[in-house]
Amino acid sequence: MVGAACALYAARAGLDVRVVDRGAVAGGTTGAGEGNLLVSDKEPGPELELALLSARLWSELAEELGAAIEYESKGGLVVAAAPDALAALRDFAAGQRSAGVTAVPVGSGELREMEPHLASGMAGGVHYPQDAQVMPALAAAHLLHACGAPVHTGWTVTGVVRAADGAVRGVRTDRGDIHAPAVVNAAGTWGGDLASLAGVRLPVLPRRGFVLVTEPLPRMVRHKVYAADYVADVASDSATLRASPVVEGTAAGPVLIGATRERVGFDRSLSLAAVRALAAGAIGLFPFLERVRALRTYAGFRPYLPDHLPAIGPDPRVPGLFHACGHEGAGIGLAPGTGQSIARALTGKAPELNLTPFRPERFDTDTDTGTGTGTDTDTDTDGGDTP
C-alpha cells in the first residue's frame, strides 16, 4: 500500500517511476490486514498529524477511485462499558479535538440508536466521523494502476547499486538492474532487510495480528466499533497477546473482527488463543455475533519500529535512498500522507508535514537494538487497525 501511494504521488509530481515487488500486488502485509483509516485511536502528535493529512488525501483519492477501492466514510464509534473508562475516553477525545479531530460525545441512549445491535448497558462513547475504510488490496492495485508506472511483480531486489561517492544509482534485482537516481524503500516489514542492502540500519520488526472474517450478513454493524480499552492497548509495549477488537461490517457483507497483537517473529501458524480472544471481545460488543460463523481467519505481520513511528524521508547516510516503511498497524491509513511527503522530498519541495519525528536515521543514536524491549515513548503510534 505504502509503495503504491509513493508511486502515485511521485508519478503525479512528474517523475518517471518503476515499481518492483518480489510478490504480487498486495502480496505483503497489505493483503493480510484490514483497511481501517482511523484518526480516533491516535493521540495528539506526529502520527495524528500524518493521519489527518492522510484522511484528507484519502477522501480526494476516493472521489477519483471511490467505488473501486470500496472507500466508505462510515465513521468510528468508540464505546466504554464502565463510567471510569468513559471518563478516560472523554479526556482523550478532548485532547484530540484540540489537535483538529472531530470527536462527538455520545450518550448511552444514543449509542443504541447509532448501533442498534450493540450490547446493552454501555456507559457511553465517542463518535469520530473522520474514521473511514478502504479495501487495502483493491486500493493498492488501483493506485498503482492509476499512476501508470510499470509494475514488475515477481522481481526481487537483491542489492542497491551505489556510485563511488556512495550515492544510489538504482537497484539490482534477480531479473536485472534498474537504474535510478532515487530508490524508495517501501518494503514494509522487510524494510530493514532492504535498508541493510544499502548498508544502513533500520530496525523494522514484525508484530503479528490475526483477523476473523464472518459469513456475509445484512448490514448489522454500521460504524467501526471498538471498546475504549483499545486506546490503552495500542500504547503498550508488551510482547504478549492483546485483543480488543474493532468490529465492522464490510461492503461485501462479512463482519471483520481484528486484530490481535503479538510479537512472535514471522510465525504464521494458527493461534486459537488469538481467535478465541477476538471472538470473545466481539461478542462482548455485539451479542448477536455469538451464533454468527467465522468463515476464515488470517494473520499478517505489521512492520514496526522501536518507537512505533514509521520511517519517512531521505536517508542522510545514503544519498538518493528514501524510506517509507514501518507503519505498524496503520500503514493503510497513513499511506497517502506518506506518499505525498516522499514525492515532495523527491522533487525538492517542502513537505506539508514536519518529517523530523520520522527521520530514518533516528535509531543510530539509541542503544535499543530493536528488540522492542526498550521503554515505550509517550507517542501512541499504533492505529488504524484493531489492537
Partner 1 sequence: MTTAERPRLAVVGAGPAGLAGALAAAARGVQVTLVDAADQPGGQFYRQPAPGLGARRPQALHHQWRTFERLRDGLERHRAAGLITHLADHHVWCVEREPGSGALSVHALRGPAQEQGVTVRADAVLLATGGYERVLPFPGWTLPGVVTAGGAQAMLKGGLALPGRTAVVAGTGPLLLPVATGLAAAGVRVAALVESADPAALLPRARALAARPGKLAEGAGYAARLLRYGVRVLPRHTVLEAHGTDRLEAVTLASLGRNGRTRPGSARRIACDTLAVGHGMLPHTDLAGTLGCTLSGTDVRVDDEQRTDVPGVWAAGETTGVGGAALALAEGHIAGRSVAARLGGTAPDPRRWAAAARARARQRAFFAALDAVYAPPAAWADAVPDDTVVCRCEEVTAGAVRTAAGPLGASDPRAVKLLTRAGMGWCQGRVCAPAVAALTGCPLVPERRPFARPVPLGVLAALPEPPPG
Ligand X SMILES: Cc1cc2nc3c(=O)[nH]c(=O)nc-3n(C[C@H](O)[C@H](O)[C@H](O)COP(=O)(O)OP(=O)(O)OC[C@H]3O[C@@H](n4cnc5c(N)ncnc54)[C@H](O)[C@@H]3O)c2cc1C
Q: Which residues bind partner 1 (CB under 8 A)?
A: 23-27, 31, 137-138, 141-142, 144-145, 151, 153-154, 212-216, 252, 254, 257, 269-270, 272-273, 275-276, 278-280, 282-283, 289-298
Distance (Å, whole) CA 283 – CA 255? 12
270 binds, among ligand X, partner 1, none (CB under 5 to 8 A by kind): partner 1
**Using an 8 Å Cβ cutoff, are 35 and 366 in contact?**
no
Alpha-carbon dihedral 102, 123, 45, 99, rounded to 10 degrees: 30
What's phi and psi for 208, nearest 5 deg? -75, 145
User: What residues are paired with 324 via a beta bridge?
Assistant: 312
- Of 32 and 86, nearer to ligand X (C-beta) is 32
Minimum Å gap between C-beta 14 and partner 1 is 23
Angle between helices 335-346 and 2-12 (to 10 degrees): 40
Minimum Å gap between C-beta 152 and partner 1 is 9
125 binds, among ligand X, partner 1, none (CB under 5 to 8 A by kind): none
Minimum Å gap between C-beta 103 and partner 1 is 30
Angle, CA of 39, 43 and 48, to the nearest 5° = 50
Task: Quote the cell numbers at residue 91.
Answer: 479526556
- Of 303 and 372, nearer to ligand X (C-beta) is 303
28 binds, among partner 1, ligand X, none (CB under 5 to 8 A by kind): ligand X
35 binds, among partner 1, ligand X, none (CB under 5 to 8 A by kind): ligand X
**Using an 8 Å Cβ cutoff, are 74 and 223 in contact?**
yes
Task: Quote the cell numbers at residue 65.
Answer: 477511485
CB closest to ligand X, residue no: 331
300 binds, among ligand X, partner 1, none (CB under 5 to 8 A by kind): ligand X
343 binds, among ligand X, partner 1, none (CB under 5 to 8 A by kind): none
Distance (Å, whole) CA 237 – CA 224? 24
Minimum Å gap between C-beta 24 and ligand X is 8
Minimum Å gap between C-beta 73 and ligand X is 15
Residue 167, amino acid: A
Minimum Å gap between C-beta 204 and ligand X is 9
Which among 207, 204, 214, 55 is positioned nearest to 128, based on CA atoms? 55
- Of 4 and 342, nearer to partner 1 (C-beta) is 4
126 binds, among partner 1, ligand X, none (CB under 5 to 8 A by kind): none
- Of 87 and 161, nearer to ligand X (C-beta) is 161
87 backbone φψ class: left, alpha, beta (φ>0; ψ -120 to 50): alpha
- Of 272 and 350, nearer to partner 1 (C-beta) is 272
Distance (Å, whole) CA 146 – CA 19? 13
- Of 123 and 342, nearer to ligand X (C-beta) is 342
Alpha-carbon dihedral 149, 155, 156, 159, rounded to 10 degrees: -60
289 binds, among ligand X, partner 1, none (CB under 5 to 8 A by kind): partner 1
Minimum Å gap between C-beta 140 and partner 1 is 9
- Of 209 and 320, nearer to ligand X (C-beta) is 209
- Of 214 and 379, nearer to partner 1 (C-beta) is 214
- Of 110 and 237, nearer to ligand X (C-beta) is 237
Task: Quote the cell numbers at residue 292.
Answer: 454468527
Minimum Å gap between C-beta 22 and partner 1 is 11
Torsion sign, CA atoms 250, 255, 261, 264: negative
Which among 49, 354, 332 is positioned nearest to 186, based on CA atoms? 332
Length of the chain: 387
74 binds, among partner 1, ligand X, none (CB under 5 to 8 A by kind): none
Distance (Å, whole) CA 129 – CA 93? 13
Q: Which residues bind ligand X (CB under 6 A)?
A: 1-3, 20-23, 27-30, 32-36, 156-157, 186-190, 194, 209, 211, 258-259, 300-303, 325, 327-333, 384-385
345 backbone φψ class: left, alpha, beta (φ>0; ψ -120 to 50): alpha
Minimum Å gap between C-beta 202 and partner 1 is 26
